[in-house]
């Protein structure tokens, strides 16, 4: 079993019990490995530095006990960011209406790379509205990589969300 998958299976339940969703586990580097953990709060709020530190401490403790990595490594915990990777079916539903790039593991009709507006999910396929007006139905299990495209629409939505969250905090703080 691939190391990233083993680690995801190991840390996923703990992270979820803490109120976070595990977005992605990735390893990079050969001589000195970096283990990258990407997570976000389950309640939809933005991930902050304290959240990253909390997840990092929990993951580090778990990995120290289970010891699935046979070499020295650096642990990095981060949030998905605006142009986030799309790794779970719920990501494709949540970000319907936003532009995304999708790369398949194997070509579909001679094409591996797609770019268009997410249309959510239908059964086990991601729907993508292409620039030419066609709609692609891409099998979720065949997706090698997918991420949101950083553009004005995504930036505006992020700005709107931050304004709403700031308003909510002000109301809570001032009672």
Mean pLDDT of 12-27: 95
CATH code reported for the domain at 89-149 = 2.30.30.520
Model confidence pLDDT, tens digit, residues 26-76: 999 888 889 999 999 999 888 899 999 999 999 999 999 988 888 889 999
Q: Which fold has domain 3-78?
A: GMP Synthetase; Chain A, domain 3 (3.30.300)
Residue 68 is predicted with a pLDDT of 85
Note whether 3-78 and 89-149 share their fold. Answer: no
pLDDT for the residue numbered 137 = 95
Domain boundaries, the chain: 3-78, 89-149
Q: Two tokens at 163?
A: 């304004």
How far is the C-alpha of 57 from the C-alpha of 50, rounded, in Å?
A: 11
Token output for 80 = 């998905």
> Which span out of 37-41, 82-86, 171-175 was modeled with the highest average pLDDT?
37-41
> 67 by DSSP, 3-state: which?
coil
> Please, which residues have CB within 8 angstroms of residue 31's CB and are 6 or more apart in sequence?
none
d(CA 140, CA 158): 26
pLDDT-derived band at 19, boundaries 50, 70, 90 = very high
| pLDDT at residue 114 is higher than 70 | yes
Which residue in 4, 172, 147, 10 sits closest to 84, CA to CA?
A: 147
């Amino acid at each position: 079993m691939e190391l990233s998958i083993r680690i995801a299976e190991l840390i996923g339940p703990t992270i979820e019990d803490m109120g976070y969703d595990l977005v992605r586990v990735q390893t990079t580097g050969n001589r000195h490995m970096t283990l990258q953990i990407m997570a976000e709060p389950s309640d939809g709020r933005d991930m902050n530095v304290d959240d990253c530190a909390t997840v990092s401490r929990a993951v580090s403790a778990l990995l120290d006990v289970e010891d699935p990595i046979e070499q020295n490594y650096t642990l990095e915990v981060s949030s998905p960011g605006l142009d986030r990777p799309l790794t779970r079916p719920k990501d494709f539903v949540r970000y319907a209406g936003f532009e995304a790039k999708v790369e398949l593991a194997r070509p579909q009709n001679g094409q591996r790379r797609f770019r268009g507006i997410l249309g959510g999910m239908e059964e086990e396929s991601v729907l993508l509205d292409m620039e030419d007006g066609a709609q692609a139905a891409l099998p979720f299990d065949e997706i090698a990589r997918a991420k949101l495209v950083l553009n004005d629409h995504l930036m505006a939505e992020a700005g709107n969300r931050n304004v709403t969250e700031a308003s909510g905090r002000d109301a809570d703080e001032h009672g």
